[in-house]
């Protein structure tokens, strides 16, 4: 017969398996949940912006905005009053497509898209002082206080020497472990890199040491039909953030507030599509599509329980069979198997 003590040991084993399954699920959930903050923009103020400006770079310095605009034959470097009026502007050579812009001392460094040249301008009079050369495309540029930080349209960001533009180091930008490409206009502060994601209404905040995205800002409420894409981030001395876009008629001062979607977002996912940066994930459209597979640990648990139960039955049957005289051995009844021995 199968003794009560044997059944107790089997029960204890099942409890251990159950607890193990629960712990596996908790660990898996903790691993899969993203720590990326999701924010939205709240408009504080707005000023006019030249809707003929194909904005590629934007920064703030001593009470004025400085802007780089693009397109072949239309690229410019501009100084803009805080009310949005252009104070002065200079045209780039018609062969240059203006891109990101950064301040270095009393000079402005302006990238070009495919010309492999960064133009160096005198801040005071916009005279051209020289240039740097580099390999690959030029997209966004900012100064973090120790280096020039540059994007090239991929998920890579390069930190460059402010004196000779040589590469000091690079990082790869990731969101929940996946690369984020199409990093466009950049803005730096002491602790972070902010980036527009091309073809997206998102602004991301990047850890400059690890390359990990720790915040995604949804700025979709700012854009309107017929406007170009979001592009242009400036953080002023007082910490206020201004954003605009290509050919936008307005520039907005914004505050970042917690996203209304974050409370309902239990899986921690964000709106930026990793690996492409151009499109957003599609929601499931039916209950069948929304069903998720059960965790592997559940299958393992039930398989283990079933295996233990079968093993228990087999052992009990074998014990009963062995206890019978040789001439009486037969297939025992199950009720005999689980009777307690006195």
Asked if 252 and 45 touch (Cβ cutoff 8 Å), the reply is yes
pLDDT at site 73: 95
Closest CA to 56 of 255, 277, 244, 223: 244
Q: Which residues of the chain have pLDDT under 50?
A: 2, 22-23, 26-32, 264-271, 273-295, 337-338, 340-342
Q: Strands (DSSP E) along 180-239, which ranges?
A: 183-188, 193-197, 202-206, 213-218, 230-235
pLDDT at site 291: 38
Which residues are CB-neighbours of 112 under 8 A, at least 6 positions away? 92, 96, 97, 98, 99, 118, 119, 138
- Which residue in the block uniquely carries the two structure tokens 């960064």? 118
- Which residue in the block uniquely carries the two structure tokens 């914004």? 254
As a whole number of angstroms, the distance between CA 186 and CA 180 comes to 14
pLDDT at site 259: 84
Domain architecture of the chain: domains with CATH:
4-31+293-337 (no CATH), 37-266 (2.120.10.30)
* 3-state SS, residue 147: coil
pLDDT at site 89: 97
Q: What is the pLDDT of residues 52-80, one digit of tens each?
A: 999 999 999 999 999 999 999 999 999 99
pLDDT at site 33: 56
């Amino acid at each position: 017969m199968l003794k009560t003590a044997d059944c107790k040991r089997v029960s204890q084993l099942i409890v251990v398996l159950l607890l193990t399954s629960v712990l596996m699920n908790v660990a898996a959930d903790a691993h899969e949940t993203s720590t990326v903050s999701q924010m939205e923009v709240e408009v504080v103020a707005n000023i006019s912006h030249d809707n003929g400006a194909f904005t590629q770079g934007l920064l703030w310095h001593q009470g004025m905005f400085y802007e780089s605009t693009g397109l072949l034959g239309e690229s410019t470097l501009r100084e803009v009053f805080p009310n949005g009026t252009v104070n002065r502007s200079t045209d780039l050579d018609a062969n240059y497509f203006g891109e990101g812009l950064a301040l270095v001392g009393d000079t402005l460094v302006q990238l070009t898209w495919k010309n492999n040249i960064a133009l160096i301008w005198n801040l005071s009079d916009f005279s051209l002082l020289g240039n740097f050369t580099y390999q690959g495309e030029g997209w966004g540029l900012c100064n973090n206080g120790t280096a020039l930080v540059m994007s090239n349209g991929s998920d890579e960001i390069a930190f460059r020497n402010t004196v000779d533009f040589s590469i000091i180091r690079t990082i790869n930008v990731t969101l929940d472990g996946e690369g984020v490409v199409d990093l466009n206009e950049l803005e730096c502060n002491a602790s972070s890199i902010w980036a527009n994601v091309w073809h997206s209404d998102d602004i991301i905040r990047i850890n400059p040491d690890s390359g990990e995205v720790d915040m995604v800002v949804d700025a979709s409420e700012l854009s309107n039909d017929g406007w170009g894409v979001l592009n242009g981030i400036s953080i002023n001395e007082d910490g206020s953030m201004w954003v605009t876009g290509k050919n936008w008629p307005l520039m907005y001062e914004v505050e970042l507030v917690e996203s209304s979607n974050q409370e309902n977002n239990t899986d921690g996912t964000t709106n930026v599509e990793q690996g492409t940066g151009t499109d957003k994930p599609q929601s499931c459209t039916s209950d069948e599509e929304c069903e998720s597979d059960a965790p592997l640990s559940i299958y393992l648990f039930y398989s283990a329980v079933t295996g233990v139960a079968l093993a228990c039955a087999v052992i009990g049957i074998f014990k009963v069979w062995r206890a019978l005289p040789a001439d009486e051995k037969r297939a025992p009844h199950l009720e005999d198997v689980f009777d307690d021995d006195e």
